[in-house]
Amino acid sequence: MEKFKAQLNNLRISPRKVRLVADLIRGKKVEEARNILKFTVKRAARPLEKLLSSAATNAKHNFQLEEESLFVQEIRVDKGRTLKRFRPVSRGRTAPIAKRTSHITIVLEKHGS
């Protein structure tokens, strides 16, 4: 059971928004997942597409596997560092703004393992 992994840290998109896109490709073949991401309008689709390509290329280059034999076994979106910013509000006060980041891990597995 061979597993091929790729990771993206500190993506400046909220994990809640990235999970919406990640749920679309979980359990799909790599080619099918790439097509889904290509036509998804969400902003998180482009970084996920690049991460998927990276994981598939790792498997192809390091283990001489064909891309058609791989599928997305696991995709995990975790919370990253939160950038804390402040904006002015009335009466001389400030209101906090939390700019959230995401850590994404994708695991591909050979189909039929």
Q: Express each pLDDT in 15-53 by its tens digit.
A: 999 999 999 999 999 999 999 999 999 999 999 999 999
Q: Express each pLDDT in 93-105 by its tens digit.
A: 999 999 999 999 9
Once rounded to an integer, what is the mean pLDDT over residues 73-97?
A: 97
CB count, 10 Å around CB of 33?
24
State the pLDDT at residue 64: 87
Tokens of 31: 């080619």
In the chain, where the domains are located: 3-110
| Beta-carbon-side half-sphere exposure of residue 83 (alpha carbons within 13 Å) | 10
State the pLDDT at residue 113: 56
Asked whether residue 69 carries a pLDDT value surpassing 70, the answer given is yes
Q: What is the CATH code of the structural domain delimited by 3-110?
A: 3.90.470.10
Check: pTM over 0.85? Answer yes or no: yes
Please, what is the angle between helix 15-25 and helix 45-63, to 10°? Answer: 50
